[in-house]
Amino acid sequence: MGDEVILMSFWSSMFGMRTMIALEEKGVKYEYREEDVINNNKSPLVLEMNKIHKKIPVLIHNGKPVCESIIQIQYIDEVWSDKNPFLPTDPIQRAQALFWADFIEKKLFRCGRKTWATKGEELEAAKKELIEVLKTLQSELGDKPYFGGDTFGFVDIVLIGFYSWFPAYQKFGNFSVEPECSKLMAWGKRCMQRECVAKALPDSEKLFGYVLQLKKVYGVQ
């Protein structure tokens, strides 16, 4: 069957990175389209395919859209189920993986963003919270090589895009997560050895430049 798969995203989006990694891990052939997010000039196709949120990443499979990155990973796992399963088969383990994905979704973007977009007390609180969130994740990782156990799985895909942002969080927030989260950092390095991950994650210097642009756009000194 001639599958037509299109991913519309933006290079710095940790959400888009997830979907790209999921496609790559499954060996799906897809067309990548970079969207002009920073100038808020997204293509008509994004606006048409994600009418409700008008956000990237948007995955289009044979003309039909799938929105929201976590749902995209689940979708990719279901459709291309013959290779590299992301979610475990046991319902309790599946529920736990979905729980950690939801935890990452609820916590990490919000306090990560504050490391470069806020100052003073708000910044200090965000740094503390970020370290707590990462320590909680590290504790869930435990001594396993991946959140998925011996294999790179669903939670790994959901979290790894944020790892590429850690240098920016640390630089602009002027703090370090490494002393308290060394095991989590080692997990990130381990994931980066995978070709699919290395390909999807951006370079830190490029990200620093992008955050400086964002700070200007949002008027953050």
Which residues contact its own copies by CB under 8 A? 52, 61, 64, 66-68, 71-72, 74-75, 78-79, 91-92, 94-95, 98-99, 102-103, 136
Q: Toward its own copies, which CB reaches closer, 76 or 201?
A: 76
Minimal distance, residue 217 CB to its own copies, in Å? 23
What is the closest distance, in whole angstroms, from the C-beta atom of residue 122 to its own copies in the complex?
20
In DSSP terms, 149 is beta-bridged to: 146
Q: Which residues sit opposite 5 in a β-bridge?
A: 61
Measured from the CB atom, the residue of 53 and 119 that comes closer to its own copies is 53
Helix (H) / strand (E) element for 31: namely: strand 31-34
**Smallest distance from the beta carbon of 39 to its own copies, in angstroms?**
25
Q: Write the CA distances from 192 to 80, 163, 167, 188, 201, integer angstroms.
A: 23, 10, 14, 6, 8
Q: What are the backbone angles phi and psi of residue 143, rounded to the nearest 5°? A: -100, 10
Write down the least CB distance from residue 208 to its own copies, Å: 30
The Cα 104–Cα 178 span in angstroms is: 18
Q: In this complex, which beta carbon is closest to its own copies, that of residue 132 or of residue 203? A: 132
Separation CA 120–CA 127 (nearest Å): 11
CB nearer to its own copies: give 103 or 210: 103
